[in-house]
Amino acid sequence: MFSNSYIFRFATIMVVVVAAMLSSITLLLQPMQERNIRIEKMQDILLASNIQATSANAIELYNQHLVQELSVTLSGEIHSIFDGENFEKGDVRAFEIAIRDMLKAISDYKAGRIQTEPLLPVFVMQAPDGSKKYVFPVRGRGLWGPIWGNIALKEDLVTIAGAKFDHQSETPGLGAEISTKDFEDQFIDKRIFDNQGNFISISVIKGVGVGDHQVDAISGGTITSNGLSEMLETGLEYYLPFIKSYKVL
């Protein structure tokens, strides 16, 4: 029979050993996890731009089709320009701006808790046909957790060229359908401004979708659809000063 003190020491040693092993595994896997996150981010930007990409070729295609990464201020001024290899202006890569952190910084900035104006990421991509797409990342909340996406505008900065959405934990077959191609394709050729130049955004409403500013919502995914509508309106509003400075119409 082992004494209680022996059992306690043995259990303590095993806990320490297992914890050390798990910590080592985490450290070993961290670079791979970070690489996968970057690849997924590149892939989503490409897909929003109607450039078909997989995890295997996302890095190559991103570098091939990227024109510029722009880091812009809330007032619409371009702070930094990165061309894929070098900075043409500033020193902040749009790709390194985390949307979740950016939204918190915007809230803190507007509340006066920080003085540094947050920067927004914009990606200028060149499609295979030579046309440029302006990609704007957005983030919001669905029914069960965060939702996010990328909206690509055509060169007029009015008409949507493509969209790519994703989520953390929306219900399969319901709210999770926002990440399907059939749903995302509804956004193509929708417009975020009316004929008078007023910002309208895109509403996700069940039974509607024929107009310039609406798409058909997902059956059984009302709360997720409402969250996506709010995400688009709020998210794109942050970019409006930049968009209005450069849009054609």
For the stretch 46-56, pLDDT in tens is 999 999 999 99
Say if residues 168 and 146 touch (Cβ distance below 8 Å): yes
β-strand partners of 162: 152
C-alpha 160/C-alpha 170 separation (Å) is 25
Nearest to 71 by CA among 48, 90, 98, 44: 90
Residues 88-92, mean pLDDT to the nearest whole number:
97
Residues 25-39, mean pLDDT to the nearest whole number:
78
| Annotated domain spans of the chain | 66-246
Helix axes 58-65 and 4-48, enclosed angle (nearest 10) = 40
Q: Give the CA angle between residues 203, 208, 214 to the nearest 5°.
A: 30
Give the tens place of pLDDT for each residue, 170-190.
Answer: 999 999 999 999 999 999 999
> What's the predicted TM-score (pTM) here?
0.87
